[in-house]
Amino acid sequence: MDKLDTMRTFLTVVQEGAFTKAADKLNLSPQLVSKYISALEQSLHTRLLQRTTRRLSLTQAGAEYYQRCVQVIADIDEMENELTQHAEVVSGTLTVSAPMSFGSLHLPQLLMDFQQAYPAIKLNIKLTDLKVDIVEDGIDVAIRIGHLADSSYIGKKVAPIYIAIMASADYLVHQGIPKTPAELQHHTYLKYSYSDDAMLFAGFEQTSQSLKFNENLIANNGELLVNTAILGGGIVIQPTFIASKALAEGKLVRILRNFEPKPMGLYMVYANRQFLAAKVQCFVNFVSQYYGQTPYWDDVL
């Protein structure tokens, strides 16, 4: 009886909450599942599960063993996936979702480099600033920007995303430079549709009350807002991955540096680590090392 088989059976029993459900999922008989668990407990000389007529529950030793099993099995699956990638050509269509501006500005070179490394993988890129349902929309990997919420998905951080408050020098000469976030209420503000900008400053005592911005222009695209700010249209709050070139060239001036919102993260999100498709694993591994701790768009600032 293989030790890994018994560990996988134990994990499935815990996750399904019953021997019969685990047996159905593993395509085994309930008797064989019970035999595997008993053999595992005997080999460990400890009871892992409390069995009653109504339910199963983990003992303290069982809970500790379960956590170790999850990591061991995940590591083995990942190792086997990597070995499989070396043994055969990785192919198939990989569907990737990414934010609109980040995708258009910073994905083209990455995608070219990835396809040079994995020419048999076809890429289907879907750009949207709306949050997609990975499973329902058939997405293999979603590139997301923000503060990753707890979920059943796996999230791997790729790089930090810094947020800057900016305006053109000409605008600031004519309208003045705000010294606190509260003074932004007296300026022309260029708003991004999907952000709650008052919440960006929620951590500062000076702005404990909700700010009421003078939202002269609202748009669902950060590049449009940054380009409008360059022309003197107002003050904009956007990520440096959109505005770094304009900042480096002096077309925009960074203001309120002491009040900048907390950095967000650039993440890759995918459905499940276990039995991860080789094409997904290749992309995740490739992107996770691509931008580095200080992305190139922040190197110029």
pLDDT (tens digit per residue) in 95-121: 999 999 999 999 999 999 999 999 999
Domain end marker among 62, 87, 112: 87
Of 285, 293, 299, nearest in space to 79 by CA:
285
Predicted confidence at residue 86, as pLDDT, reads 55
Confidence at residue 208, expressed as pLDDT on a 0 to 100 scale = 44
Q: 82-95 pLDDT, tens per residue?
A: 666 554 578 899 99
Domain CATH number, residue 254: 3.40.190.10
Give which of 152, 119, 9, 134 is closest to 73, Cα–Cα. Answer: 9
Which CATH number goes with the domain that contains 82? 1.10.10.10
- Assess whether 156 and 275 both reside in one domain: yes
Are 245 and 270 found together in one domain? no
Residue 75 has pLDDT above 90, yes or no: no
Same domain, 79 and 63: yes
- Averaged pLDDT of the chain: 87
Pair (132, 152) in one structural domain: yes
Q: Which two structure tokens, joined as six digits, stand for 180? A: 């606190």
Task: Please indicate, yes or no, whether residues 137 and 251 belong to a single structural domain of this protein.
Answer: no
In this prediction, residue 204 carries a pLDDT of 53
Q: 146 and 268 share a domain?
A: yes
Residue 238: domain span:
163-259
Pairing of strands 253-255, 163-167: antiparallel
Residues 103 and 31 in one domain: no
- How high is the pLDDT of residue 265? 93
Q: What is the pLDDT of residue 150?
A: 60
170 and 254 assigned to the same domain: yes
Query: Are 156 and 168 in a shared domain?
Result: no
E-strand stretches of 90-249: 92-98, 121-127, 141-146, 154-161, 163-167, 188-192, 214-219, 235-239
Note whether 118 and 145 are same-domain residues: yes
Q: pTM value?
A: 0.68
How many separate domains does the chain show? 3
Do 138 and 270 have their domain in common? Answer: yes
